[in-house]
Amino acid sequence: MKIAYQGEPGANSHIVCREHYPEADAVACASFEDVFAAVSGGDADLAMIPIDNSIAGRVADIHHFLPTSGLHIVAEHFLRIQFSLLGVPGATLDTIKTVHSHVHALGQCRKIIREHELTPIISGDTAGAAREVADAADPTQAAISPPLAAEIYGLDVLASDIEDEDHNTTRFVVLSRDPDVPARGQATITTFMFNVRNLPAALYKALGGFATNGVNMTKLESYMVGGEFTATQFLAEVDGHPDDPGLARALEELTFYTTDITVLGVYPADEFRR
């Protein structure tokens, strides 16, 4: 089995793949678009995609790929994010002047960047930043990367656990070409997208069915569609299985106020939620 992820070896997505799918071959891809294409085209069986972070919020661009990818969410996993400040052998906290990393990682480690007056430089991903620093062999450069990257790229750990908040956690979803809907009776998450009709209070009315049927909605995000500055498309997540009577009624009521509904996945809730 092959599981694709965005980034280079040692990235957080790679760590999640190793942790939850140790028997699979982890396939590094340069971009999220490449990850989706790898699974859609049959070059990989699964995709590991970060979707939310407890500090930085939603991961940009994912919502553009999900609705049109034809792929299905089949699992979710949470990773407590731990970052280290890495430098080439011989580098110290006194020698470094610049720090390379993904834009989200830089935003999650502002305190150490400010404390040491470092100049942040954006890289494609956290592990790629470590490789760039290793290739440069410059003691004035450092990378904010997962600890695994130090081992892979032969760098020294100059500081550990440098993330600003100890609750820094990223949620990943696993995508497959085929749905894998769990049986009722276990904790389940249903993810879907919908477009509201152009009617007064359409969103209010669309969501009313979830409230009256006792369905807990854990996510609701809006997106602009077609270049118009009106939020007409929404990504939602709810607790429950579509075959549960309450959720089935809520989804039926949703159709009255929407132009389309796309179920992106029905999958087991990760134990982290409990």
Give domain limits for the chain.
Answer: 2-80+168-176, 84-159, 188-269
Show the 3-state SS of the chain.
CEEEEECCCCCHHHHHHHHHCCCCEEEEECCHHHHHHHHHCCCCCEEEEEEEECCCEECCCHHHHHHHHCCEEEEEEEEECCCEEEECCCCCCCCCCEEEECHHHHHHCHHHHHHCCCEEEECCCHHHHHHHHHHHCCCCEEEEECHHHHHHHCCEEEECCCCCCCCCEEEEEEEECCCCCCCCCCCEEEEEEEEECCCCCHHHHHHHHHHHCCCCEEEEEEEECCCCCCEEEEEEEEECCCCCHHHHHHHHHHHHHEEEEEEEEEEECCHHHC
**Does 255 participate in catalysis according to the annotation?**
no
61 pLDDT above the threshold of 80: no
**Does 172 participate in catalysis according to the annotation?**
yes
The residue annotated as part of the active site, out of 36, 65, 172, 210, is 172
143 pLDDT above the threshold of 80: yes
Domains 84-159 and 188-269 share a fold: no
Task: Look up the CATH superfamily of 84-159.
Answer: Periplasmic binding protein-like II (3.40.190.10)
Q: Specify the pLDDT at position 177.
A: 97
Q: What is the mean pLDDT of residues 208-222?
A: 94
Q: Specify the pLDDT at position 138.
A: 97
Each residue of 86-125: pLDDT tens digit? 999 999 999 999 999 998 899 999 999 999 999 999 998 8
Q: Specify the pLDDT at position 230.
A: 66
pLDDT band at 201 (very low <50, low <70, confident <90, very high): confident
Q: What is the mean pLDDT of residues 167-182?
A: 95
Looking at domain 2-80+168-176, does it have CATH number 3.90.650.10? no
Which CATH code, of 3.40.50.620, 3.30.70.260, 2.40.10.10, 3.90.45.10, is assigned to 188-269?
A: 3.30.70.260
pLDDT band at 222 (very low <50, low <70, confident <90, very high): confident
pLDDT band at 197 (very low <50, low <70, confident <90, very high): confident
Q: What is the mean pLDDT of residues 256-263?
A: 90
pLDDT over 70, % of the chain: 99
65 pLDDT above the threshold of 90: no
Q: What is the mean pLDDT of residues 129-150?
A: 96
The span from the CA of 99 to the CA of 106, in Å, is 8
The residue annotated as part of the active site, out of 126, 170, 188, 232, is 170
Q: What is the mean pLDDT of residues 199-215?
A: 91
